[in-house]
Structure 1
Amino acid sequence: MNEDVSRVIFSEQELADRVAEMGAAITRDYAPVADEGIVMVSVLRGAAIFMADLARAIELPIEMDYMAVSSYGNGAKSSGVVRILKDLSSEITGRHVIIAEDILDSGLTLQYLMKNLQSRKPASLEVATLLRKKTRAQADIRCRYTGFECPDEFIVGYGLDYAERYRNLPYIGVLKPELYQ
């Protein structure tokens, strides 16, 4: 798999350091409301690795839950059609919800998800995204916690995939274009 990556953008150590910083910020920001209940929601499958590491970096009681949504299929670009494949198991009404997202690309999926979760009346709803792509046509989404800005290239690793491959790379790198074009 390593030979399919043209270059590494964020190393394993850079990812670990930044996730630890994000966890410390969440711990600081949510300490006053921790007794009200904090639910971290991972968007499967890509964000599962990020959320697991982020959860370990937060020094507060949290509940972890998962949603599966689809807008990509096996393609390299979002289809724009969002489907919920697996909904939350937890009740989030009156609780503080943090969406752990792997990457904010077009933002269409996250925008849909935020609207859906907001309709369930959480006490607060914030986004912690590991990566935010620099794209011109991105939905206007405020991320309270952002790990890194990244180039508008097709990237894989640390949960990010192409056709369900490369998620287990410990770093984030650029996939060679000939593999997905």
Structure 2
Amino acid sequence: MADPVVLLSEEEVARRVAALAAQIAPAIDDDTVAVCLLTGGLWFASDLTRALSRLGRHVRFDALWLASYGDERASLGRCEVRADLQRPLSGRTALIIDDVIDTGLSLSEASRLVRDAGAARAFTAVFASKPWPTPRAIVPDFVAWEAPARYLVGYGMDAAGALRGLPYIGALD
């Protein structure tokens, strides 16, 4: 596998996470449940919840494991729930966190599941928003970076399970 072309350095990723936390903090409270979409959202969710904590927002944490890509580079067109929510959401605000929005399928399904679980409000936050030629099912509430239409890796994004752990965001073209 070729080395990725660096698009955002580790330092720039950290700056964007801190800036996004500053936008999100006034919209939520300490009873908010941060819902990380596994697997890719784990890196961003970890950094974002710590950044929110530095701003005095100590959110609760939960995760949804959704799969719509498998090891493919394109969405399979359906979303499978591999692990559901564990924390009660009834009457609470939920902050759904994912690494990237491409087709919008996973984020839309997560939003539906969170609402079905009784969340009073559901916000969505993604690190990267990729351009899409047709309307998505959902528009994220908070976006750290408007990404180019390239195959992204690093910071949770992968190529068949590899390169998720890169501390920067790169492209494989």
Structure 1: where are the runs of 5+ without partners? Answer: 177-181
Q: Is the 8 A contact 1:40 1:98 kept in 2?
A: yes
Task: Give the aligned partner of residue 51 of structure 1.
Answer: 45
Aligned AA (1:28) = P
In structure 2, C-alpha distance between the alignment counterparts of 1:114 and 1:29, rounded to whole Å: 17
Is 1:141 aligned with 2:138?
A: yes
In structure 2, C-alpha distance between the alignment counterparts of 1:163 and 1:134, rounded to whole Å: 21
In structure 2, C-alpha distance between the alignment counterparts of 1:81 and 1:25, rounded to whole Å: 31
In structure 1, C-alpha distance between the alignment counterparts of 2:85 and 2:113, rounded to whole Å: 11
Task: Give the aligned partner of residue 4 of structure 1.
Answer: 3
Distance 1:75 1:138, change over 3 A: farther
In structure 2, C-alpha distance between the alignment counterparts of 1:107 and 1:68, rounded to whole Å: 15
Q: What is the percent sequence identity of the aligned residues?
A: 34
In structure 1, C-alpha distance between the alignment counterparts of 2:140 and 2:119, rounded to whole Å: 17
- Give the Å deviation of 1:138: 4.2
TM-score when normalising by structure 1: 0.89
Is 1:42 aligned with 2:42?
A: no
Aligned partner of residue 87 in structure 2, secondary structure: coil
Aligned partner of residue 56 in structure 1, secondary structure: helix
Aligned AA (1:13) = E
In structure 2, C-alpha distance between the alignment counterparts of 1:138 and 1:102, rounded to whole Å: 19
Task: Give the aligned partner of residue 61 of structure 1.
Answer: 58
Residues 12-57 of structure 1: per-residue CA shift (max 9 Å, x gap) = 1111001001112222222xxx25x100001111010100000011
In structure 1, C-alpha distance between the alignment counterparts of 2:135 and 2:148, rounded to whole Å: 13
Instruction: Please show how residues 57-136 of structure 1 align to structure 2 within 5 Å.
Output: 57-58=51-52, 59-136=56-133
Q: Is the 8 A contact 1:80 1:109 kept in 2?
A: no
In structure 2, C-alpha distance between the alignment counterparts of 1:158 and 1:87, rounded to whole Å: 23
Q: Is the 8 A contact 1:131 1:148 kept in 2?
A: yes
Is 1:19 aligned with 2:17?
A: yes
Aligned AA (1:11) = S
Aligned partner of residue 136 in structure 1, secondary structure: coil
- Give the Å deviation of 1:137: 2.4
Aligned AA (1:116) = L
In structure 1, C-alpha distance between the alignment counterparts of 2:78 and 2:71, rounded to whole Å: 14
TM-score when normalising by structure 2: 0.93
Following TM superposition, the consecutive aligned residue runs of length 4 or more in structure 1 with deviations greater than 3 angstroms are: none
